[in-house]
Structure formats: C-alpha cells, structure tokens
Chain A
Amino acid sequence: MLTVTDLSVTYGAVRALSGVSLSVPPGEVTAVIGANGAGKSTLMRTLAGLVKPASGSASLNGVTITGRKPEDIVRMGVALVPEGRSTIPDLTVEENLRLGGLWRSRVERMASQEEVFNLFPILGERKGLRADTLSGGERQQLAIGRALMSEPRCLLLDEPSLGLAPLIVTQILELVSRLARDSGLAVLLVEQNAVTALRVATTGVVLNLGEVVQSGSAEAIRSDEQLRHAYLGY
C-alpha cells in the first residue's frame, strides 16, 4: 500500500500540489485524472523522488519514501514510468531492461526479464534491437518493462497514453491491470484521458489545480456528470 499524506509541492511562488492525500492499495489500479496543469505529473515526480515536497509525506507499507533519492526509492519498491516513453534510444531493448534492476542478482534479474517477456512478447522478439527502432507502443511497453525489472510493489505510470493510438493504450492498460490483480502490484495511473483510465481503474482521484476535488470508486466518478463537465471537460 502506497500512502500519500497531505503532500504539498511548490515551484517558487507557485503551488503545484496542496495537501494531497490518497492511498494506492495493492492488487488494483488507482487512477489520478485531471486537466493539463492539475499537478498530476508533479505528484508522480515527487513520489519518485525527482521533486522535493514542501510538506507532507508518502510511504510504502509504512516506510517513508519522501526525502529520499530516486535511485533509493526505486530500490525500495516504487518504480516510475515517466511521461513520454522513457526508454534510452541508444541502448538495446535487452540493455534497457537490464538497466531497470542492475542492483539485483543475475538470477533475480533473469526471472523478472522472463516475466516481462511473457507480459510483452514483442520485447522478447526485439531484444537485440536498439530501442529507437521500436514503434511508440512498443517503446511504452519497454518503459513499463524496465520499471518492472526492479520488481516493484508499487508502479507509477505517468500519462502512458500520450501520443499512442487508443487501441494500443487500452491493450497496454488492460495488461497492467491484469498484472496488478495477479501479482498484487499497487498501480498509480495518471491520465489526462479520463475515460480510458477509469475503465481499468478501481478507484479514481480527481485532481484540479493541485488539490484533490473528488475521490471514490472509478465507477462513481465515471457516471458523475457534473464532475465530468467541471473538471474533465467532456
């Protein structure tokens, strides 16, 4: 369980997040939705340790992760797939994956890599190719695969739909939600595309101008027409 308590982040005078609290239980997908500039990416980058919070905290199974370095947070079991298909184009598929869990033993790494190849078979077929030869959808799979190589207990997915065809997004997200169910992974999914996100999520959190304005079952949020008009723009 990832628990975020009263988290605030400021960029100079700008308050990007104020008093955000939420929890991400294992085995399901929790979706954070909201318009551009709502603070979704800031939330993810703060949880991963790339941004220091002004106040508040986050913890994984009771162990505080805020205030630590990104390289330590991933070792503690929280892995971020940042926005924009974060693979390293100059490295091969296999190298990108290997990078994701270098501190682990070879045996553990090979087992994780096998799991990733089962989840995303195309990566197994392309493992010797450079990442920049992959299509957008394949690179997103690689980025998620890299994060899974750390054997995380909590996976942070930042805007995975960006620039991808809707069908591919649905496929990838359904794989991720099945993975969450099967392996007890806690997934925090940030999306501008609320419809897709709420379809795979159990719980939804609506963020607006850095504040949580609504949270509850994904079902309830999806059917709340007022909320949709006010914050989600459809």
Chain B
Amino acid sequence: MTTFIEYLLGGISSGAIIALMALAIVLIWRSTRVVNFAQVGQAMFTTYVALTVRDATGSWLYALVVAIIAGGILGLIVHWLVIRPVKRADTSGAIIATFGVLIALQALAGMVWGGDTRGYAPPVSNEGIELGGRIWPFSAYDVLVVAVMIALVVGLTLLFTRTNIGLQMRASAFNPEVARLSGVRVSRSLALGWVIAGMVGAVGGVLVAPVSNVSPNSFDILLVFAFTAAVIGGLDSLVGAVTFGIGTGLVISLVSGYSDSSNAPVVALVLLALNLLLKPDGVFGHHNSRAV
C-alpha cells in the first residue's frame, strides 16, 4: 500500500507538467482548430533561452520570465509565419506544418546550443520530503511545480470567464462569424490564443527541465503524454486537459513503478486508442466539437 502511495505521489508533479503541455495544446485547438505538434518544440526552444539567461544571471526566476516572454513571441511567430498562410488553404495542411515547425526548431536548437544534454538545476530542493521517519517521493520542487500549475489554471480560468478578452477568445473559437458580426477582431483573438499557449508551454518547459534535462529531443516523450491527455480530455476542455494531464502522470508513474518506465509510452498510446474507440469526443468534449 505504501508503495502504491509512493508511486502515486511520484506521478503528481510529472502529471502537472503534462497538464500544462496539454493545456497549451487545448488552447490552440480551441481557438484555431489545429493540433500543435510543435508545442513541445517551442517549449524546448524557450527552455534553451531560459538556460542561456540563467547562465548569464544565475536567477531561476529571471530565466522563467524571459522564457515566458520568448514563448509568447515564438507562438505569435509560428502562428503568423506558418499556420495562418497554410491554414488559409487547408486545415490538415496546417497540422502537418506544425510537425515541420517541430523539426525545424529542433534543428535550430541543435545549431545554436549544440546537441549535448544539459542539466537544469531546480531552484529548490529536488530531494524527497521526510515525514514520519520516511522519505516520500515528493520534493519541495514538486510542491513548486504543482503550485505553479494551479496558479496558471486558476489564472487562465479567470481570464476566460471573467474578462472581455476571454469572452472574445471564446466567441472567436465557438463561432468566428458571429464573433466578427459582433465586432470582435477574430484574427487577433486567434493570435492571442497562440501567444498564451506559447507562454503556458514555456512554463511547462522550464518546469520539466530539472527532471528531463535539456536537449533538442528531450521533450519529445512529453508530446506523446500531453497529446494523449488533451485528446482524452476532449481537446477543447481546459478542465479535461488538466484532469487527464495529472491522470496520465499518475498512470505513467504506476506503470513505471510496477513494471518498467519504457512501458509508459506504450500504455499512454493504448489508453489513447481505447479512448478513440470508446469515446471519440473525449471525456469532457462536446459531441459536435470536431465537426466545425
């Protein structure tokens, strides 16, 4: 039983990071109806930016802030330079184009920062917390990760439900024509979706770096997990992305604990396949959400 609890605890913070990536994917799907496979590439790139800032300043916080800004700018660039022109012709083309962006970013990162795997020291201890004479697999850093995720989810929820900008973004996603007829500058709202997703992804990248380390390909596996969580959650549900992001983290931790960590991606893909067979709209999805 204690082992089971330990495995669960070990999965929470990786689940929180998967949730952030899944959130970024959902944010873009909701606004643009494109699955952004470049999301982890963008996060990898901004994490390298963070690493550079950190080497220069020594500050984890500065590095995070710069990464967030870079994430927003990179999201905007990808949207304007690649997605918008391609999507005008064809949506599935835009989805393929995101793979192109992923590969391009990985190549670019390799050229700029080299292909070596680099470490990223956490700002607080990554050692398990000792409680009641036992060391539990949950560290001060895990607490930070979970707190940041909760803050982001609350912030995004408030943005979407309480502000006019959020209302414009939701309206643009649900019905662009009615939004335009209501005076909403829909193309700006869509671009803002990419900016915010880029920022959320950047936070996820910086948070996962101490665990995964940083190399042009070190976030690839995160794409598999985040995509699984986003799809099972229904692709357009923020709640779904978070719930199944954490859920995926827990499942992976249990699978890795009881068998071998190399089985985790397989299990994720099996879950994804089962979901698509049994409940193709996702658990939190609307029935017609993908018909638009």
Contacts and interface: CB of A to CB of B under 8 A. Distances in A.
Do these two chains really belong together in a complex?
Answer: yes
Interface string B167-184: 110110011011111111
B177 A100 contact: no
Contacts of B184: 71, 99, 102
A100 B182 contact: yes
A23 B36 CA distance: 48
A139 interface: no
Interface residues of A, number: 27
Nearest to B236: A90
B174 A74 contact: no
B237 to A, nearest CB: 11
Contact of B183 (A90, A91, A95, A150): A150
B171 A99 contact: yes
A102 B175 contact: no
A82 interface: yes
Interface of B (DSSP majority class): helix
A99 B181 CA distance: 10
A102 B174 contact: no
Contacts of A82: 177-178, 181
A74 B180 CA distance: 9
Given A88-B175, A91-B170, A150 B180 contact: no
A69 B180 contact: yes
B4 to A, nearest CB: 39
Contacts of A71: 180-181, 183-186
Contacts of B186: 71
A162 interface: no
Contact of A70 (B168, B180, B286): B180
A100 B167 CA distance: 11
A54 to B, nearest CB: 21
Interface string A52-88: 0000000000000000011100110001101000111
A147 B178 CA distance: 10
A40 interface: no
A146 interface: yes
A146 B174 contact: no
Given A88-B171, A90-B170, A91-B170, A99 B177 contact: no
Contact of B167 (A70, A74, A79, A99): A99
A98 B170 CA distance: 13
A128 B174 CA distance: 18
B262 interface: no
Contacts of A90: 170, 174, 286
Interface of A: 48, 50, 69-71, 74-75, 79-80, 82, 86-91, 95, 98-103, 146-147, 149-150
24 contacts: A50-B181, A70-B180, A74-B182, A74-B183, A75-B183, A82-B181, A86-B177, A88-B171, A89-B174, A90-B170, A90-B174, A95-B167, A98-B164, A99-B167, A99-B168, A99-B179, A99-B182, A100-B183, A101-B183, A102-B167, A102-B168, A146-B178, A146-B182, A150-B182
Given A48-B181, A88-B170, A101-B183, 14 more contacts: A70-B181, A71-B184, A71-B185, A75-B183, A80-B181, A86-B175, A88-B174, A88-B175, A89-B174, A91-B170, A91-B174, A99-B184, A102-B183, A150-B182
| Pairs of residues from A and B, 5 with the lowest C-beta to C-beta distance, nearest first | A70-B180, A74-B183, A99-B182, A88-B174, A86-B178
